[in-house]
Amino acid sequence: MKKIAILGSTGSIGTQALDIIENNRGKFSVGVLSCSKRIDSLIEQIDAFDPELVVVEREKDAILLKKRYPNLEVDFGDKGMIRAASGNWDMVLNSLMGIRGLAPTYYGLATGNDIAFANKETLVAGGELIMKTAAESGAKLLPVDSEHSAIFQCLQGNHGKDVRRILLTASGGPFRGYGLKELEEVTLAQALRHPKWNMGSKITIDSATMMNKGLEVIEAKWLFDVELEQIQILIHPQSILHSAVEFCDGSIIGQMGKPDMRVPISYAFSYPKRMENQMESLDFFTEGANLTFERPDLTVFKNIRLAYDACRMGGSYPAALNGANEILVQLFLEEKIRFIDIQNTVEQVLDNHKPKYNLDLEGILEIDRQAREDAVRLL
């Protein structure tokens, strides 16, 4: 039986992961549950899955849980999350949001734990460090994002074969076809209505600004060891083709299916095998009958161009891009800035950034802190 630590168990990815575990009790058990502030949901999960360790953000919540469960190991804060990722587990699912996921991934890999990760910021901000750590420990990095899982699946049995292009798909978000002036009028309620996926608020806004796809480009560059110019974004509104790989002979292998995150989660859990599930099959005569593809508009959705630029310049630029974006999305969610201010301010932060290279974990986190301060100051 595979014991899994779930970082971010009350979020969208975490709850779907627990659905998979619930339906496969003979194959998986839960070693860790963790959350930020949804303590009521966490309590329900503790009662259902009987973990060995629980980690929360605040000490007061840890004290509350310890009183309720005197025989349960309870920890809190960043140190608690690192402890959770570094324990004796068969796999760690990192579904934390933002830069908070970087340190647990790093320490989990250093311990030798396989990491199934939906935390793209790990490779955006710390790609060089993370890939080096994984290589040194021999631990696996298994992608849970639907697009990167699709690419990973397409490469199975094709390792060592020349990749010509990675075709990274995107739904286009709720504002596909908008111009710059229309983006100036976007409201928070509009930005939170994703046409295809049910996700947390931060990643939903990233999808609306298309920063999500820019971050995924950087993630793919590190994870699949390809040149930046080999990664092409395809706007695919139907979200049926989750991504594809073109090889040197022109053959293209793609992964298709209904837009359901339980598929990439279950593949990461069961890799290198596949698991039977009860999910409804794709109907090619209705949902798959008309698949369309478009080029992204980089003049309107500047975040894609900025991500390519940051990755091309290297060093600390991707960490600065990510840090600035995170604080700006938070401010937009608090309705303190406009939607268009996100990409405009990220661009200013990158223009002003003085890069550093060969960063360790502390150096990356310091760049993240500085980028957030710069973004707020510019506003």
Following DSSP, what letter does each residue of 152-192 receive, concatenated?
Answer: HHHHTT-TTSPEEEEEEEE---TTTT--HHHHTT--HHHHT
Contacts 24+ apart (CB under 8 A), 74-77: none
pLDDT value of position 158:
84
Alpha carbon distances (Å) from 139 to 2, 3, 94:
15, 16, 14
Tell whether omega for the bond before 318 is within 30 degrees of 0, i.e. cis.
Answer: no
Nearest-angstrom CA–CA distance, 262 and 239: 15
Residue 356 in 3-state DSSP? coil
Alpha carbon distances (Å) from 352 to 152, 312, 348:
36, 16, 6
Residue reference for tokens 């999910």: 279
For residue 246, the 8-state DSSP code is E
pLDDT value of position 197:
66
pLDDT value of position 279:
82
For the record, the structure tokens of 144 come out as 């849970």
For residue 36, the 8-state DSSP code is S
How do the domains of the chain map onto residue ranges? 2-144, 148-313, 314-379
Task: List, in order, residues 6 or more apart from 32 with CB less than 8 Å away.
Answer: 4, 5, 6, 7, 51, 52, 53, 54, 55, 84, 87, 89, 92
pLDDT value of position 280:
85
Closest CA to 56 of 70, 69, 42, 45: 42
**CATH, domain 2-144, list 3.40.50.720, 3.40.50.2300, 3.40.50.11540, 3.20.20.370:** 3.40.50.720
Phi and psi of 295, rounded to 5°?
A: -80, 145
pLDDT value of position 83:
97
The helix or strand, by DSSP H or E, that contains position 3, with its residue range, turns out to be strand 2-7
The pLDDT tens digits of the residues spanning 181-195 come to 999 999 999 999 877
| pLDDT of the chain, 379 residues: tens digit per residue | 999 999 999 999 999 999 999 999 999 999 999 999 999 999 999 999 999 999 999 999 999 999 999 999 999 999 999 999 999 999 999 999 999 999 999 999 999 999 999 999 999 999 999 999 999 999 999 999 999 999 999 999 887 679 999 999 999 999 999 999 999 999 999 999 877 666 789 999 999 999 999 999 999 999 999 999 999 999 999 999 999 999 999 999 999 999 899 999 999 999 999 998 888 889 999 887 799 999 999 999 999 999 999 999 999 999 999 999 999 999 999 999 999 999 999 999 999 999 999 999 999 999 999 999 999 999 9
Nearest-angstrom CA–CA distance, 338 and 358: 35
Report the CATH fold assignment for 314-379: Rna Polymerase Sigma Factor; Chain: A (1.10.1740)
Alpha carbon distances (Å) from 185 to 182, 206, 297:
5, 17, 18
Nearest-angstrom CA–CA distance, 349 and 347: 5
- Longest CA pairwise span in the chain (Å): 63
For the record, the structure tokens of 320 come out as 């600065």
For the record, the structure tokens of 83 come out as 């402890």
pLDDT value of position 286:
87
Alpha carbon distances (Å) from 81 to 3, 69, 108, 143, 157:
17, 19, 10, 20, 35
- State the helix-helix crossing angle for 361-378 and 317-333, rounded to 10 degrees: 50
